Amino acid sequence: MTEKIIDYTPEYWEKRYKEKSAQMDSDDPTPILKELLKSEYFSEPGKIAIIGCALCQDVVLFAKNNYLVTVISPSQSVINQIRKKAKKLKSVIETTYSDLFALSGKLLHKFDYLVEYSFSSEIHPDRQMEYFDNIQKLIKPGGLLIIFLQMYSNLDAGPPFPVDVIKLENHLKEKFRLIESKPRQTSIKENGYKEVLLIWKKYLV
C-alpha cells in the first residue's frame, strides 16, 4: 500500500459520507441482513450495535423486530439521518457519535450483537486490526460479532481497502470462536464484488 495513512478526523468522515451517500441510498434493507435476521443466530432479540451505518432501512429492520438498536458512527451527518428517520417512523433507535478508535467506556461489554458491514474497508490496513480490537470490546461475553467483508481486489490504494481475512482471524481468535465463515455473492449486485460472512462468538471468560 502506498497510500498515506489517513488521519480519521470528523471532517474526513463527513467528506467520505458525502462522497458515498448517493450510492448508499435505498428504500429497502440490505438483503443479506434480512436473511440473517431469520437465521438461528438471531433467534432472540437483544441489544445490537451497528457500526457506521448510513443505510437507515438496515437500522429500522432490526428496530421493527424488537431489537434495541444503537448506531455508532464517526459521521454526524449519519447520526442526524438516522435520528430523522427514527422520528418519522416512530422507532426507538439510539445513536452515538463517536471516534471508533476511542469508544466511550459506557458502551463497553453492552451488546449481545454487533454488526460490521464492510465499514472496515474504509480503514487503512495499518489500522484495521486496531479498529477491530476497539469495536470487539463493545460485545458482551457470549455475544456475537457479525462481519461482512466485500472482497475488493487489485487495489493499490483506497478507500476502499481490502481486509486480510487470515490476519483478522488470527487477531480475534484469543477472545472469539469463529462459528461461521462463508463466501457468498454480494448483497449489492451492482458493485460486482464477492462477500465473506464471518460470525464470531465471544468467549464467556
pLDDT for 3 equals 47
Q: Does some domain include residue 136?
A: yes
The domain total for the chain is 1
Confidence of residue 29 (pLDDT cuts 50, 70, 90): confident
Q: Does some domain include residue 25?
A: no
Query: pTM, whole model, 2 decimals?
Result: 0.90
Domain with 98, as residue range(s), is: 10-17+30-202
pLDDT above 90: residue 152: no
Q: Which residues pair with 114 in a beta bridge?
A: 49, 145
Q: Does some domain include residue 89?
A: yes
Q: Does some domain include residue 164?
A: yes
Q: Does some domain include residue 5?
A: no
Closest CA to 186 of 156, 167, 160: 160
Q: What are 85-121's pLDDT values in tens digits?
A: 888 888 899 999 999 999 989 999 999 999 998 899 9
pLDDT above 60: residue 84: yes
Q: Does some domain include residue 49?
A: yes
Q: Does some domain include residue 137?
A: yes
Q: Does some domain include residue 60?
A: yes
CATH of the domain at 34: 3.40.50.150
Closest CA to 75 of 152, 19, 14, 25: 14
Q: Could you give the CA distance from residue 138 to residue 113 in angstroms, rounded to a whole number?
A: 9
